[in-house]
Structure 1
């Protein structure tokens, strides 16, 4: 299970970085958002599942590596890289674009690994913190996605772009990217948070029954 998840995450990452971004129109915000969501909501959780319980399981080595801290780090990373200035730099410079993608992967891995990894002792508490961190991330992804999707003017460029062969105006391109963030990012983090919460609550039922017995 863990090896399969790790393999799937690496393959997805390779497809996004090796096939999508090099050959697509880098000026398209929709393409950017497909890659962004693919990294943080697709590849990162799969890789985190594969790394949990291994020597690279950072929460097991660093107890302060909490989901709340990781969720705040991801918040800062995501919102900073979506400012118009940094977005323009990423579109114009392959080096800045690589730094942007590396930041997304590092922030995504930090959050998912802090939620899914760690020692067995105190696992319930970490899951509860993980649920809070993922739900918080879902909320700020929803907010940013809604702002981008509902904005009446383009924040990132003023020319027509090509998204997988489909020509899009700047406003439509930005709105499509915002919708992708809403549908994919918010939904995946919400599902992850609810899943962790349900797992924690279900694991407490047998212990409560044992105490009564």
Structure 2
């Protein structure tokens, strides 16, 4: 319990370290404080809910690691550095979509949150579970948000206004969470769709990364360094592609493992002889 409280306090204290708590309360930094409070509340509720509904296996570990990475990425110094560096801004996005989101999916936090909030948000939980049944659809929604927020106009809007920056973070985090959840926990009948969703995401993010890498002019204004933009494209293209390949490999390995075990059971039964 002490670890949970300390982690929640860390999440709440990060805006004070990065921007100054009083500055956050005044004016445009208010959305950062609100985001930190909501984030800390979600983390604390998960920790309390885990005492009522015990997580399975390493689920609690994945969840706490994911929340720590998210807190450091969204409210730590990286958020300040990302305002002036395209590559660090891309790194922040990659941490949300390729580290936090899959760890959230592996952590399966819904039972713990439901244990604390009861039926208050039942329509939300039901909506999340329904969306997770459609891997390709969640991949398309996630992909659309990636491209929309990387258009120059919205990219600069998020940098100039902390409120829009928090909305951008939420779009990436929750759409990526649904995408990874629907793929990593796909029903055996939906595994081909999950693999297709991974392939589509690998292809379009690789295309966006290549456009940023081979672009000969800064996409986000002359004040941005072209080489920094190219580095951002490489981050999305190469490490990002490797993560999606690893995810697809893990899904396929589990699927083939289930098929092999089923064949073994059928072959060893009297009816299979």
TM range (shorter): 0.7 to 0.9
Q: How does 1:83-94 map to 2 (within 5 A)?
A: 83-94=151-162
Corresponding residue to 1:181 among 224, 227, 236 = 236
Question: Which structure: larger Rg?
Answer: 2
User: In structure 2, what is the equivalent of residue 108 of structure 1?
Assistant: 176
1:54 aligns with 2:118: no
For structure 2, the 5+ residue unaligned runs are: 1-57, 115-124
1:31 to 2:95 alignment: no
SS of the residue 1:199 aligns to:
helix
Distance 1:130 1:52 in 2: 21
Give TM-score, length-normalised by structure 2.
0.68
Does the Cα contact within 8 Å between 1:41 and 1:184 map onto a contact in 2? no
Does the CA contact (< 8 Å) of 1:128 and 1:200 recur in 2?
A: no
Contact 1:52-1:116 at 8 Å conserved across structures: no
Question: TM-score normalised to the size of structure 1?
Answer: 0.86
Question: How far 1:60 sits from its partner (Å)?
Answer: 8.3
Higher helix share: 2
Q: How does 1:63-142 map to 2 (within 5 A)?
A: 65-117=133-185, 123-142=187-206
Tell me the SS of whatever aligns to 2:133.
Answer: coil
Q: Which has the higher contact order (CA 8 A, sep 6+)?
A: 1
8 Å CA contact retained: 2:131, 2:138: no
Work out the CA distance in 2 between the residues paired with 1:126 and 1:50: 21
Cα deviations by residue, 1:93-144 (Å, 9 ceiling, x for unpaired): 11111111110001110101112336xxxx2123332222112111111111
The answer to whether the 8 Å contact 1:30/1:173 transfers is yes
Say yes or no: does 1:157 pair with 2:214.
Answer: no
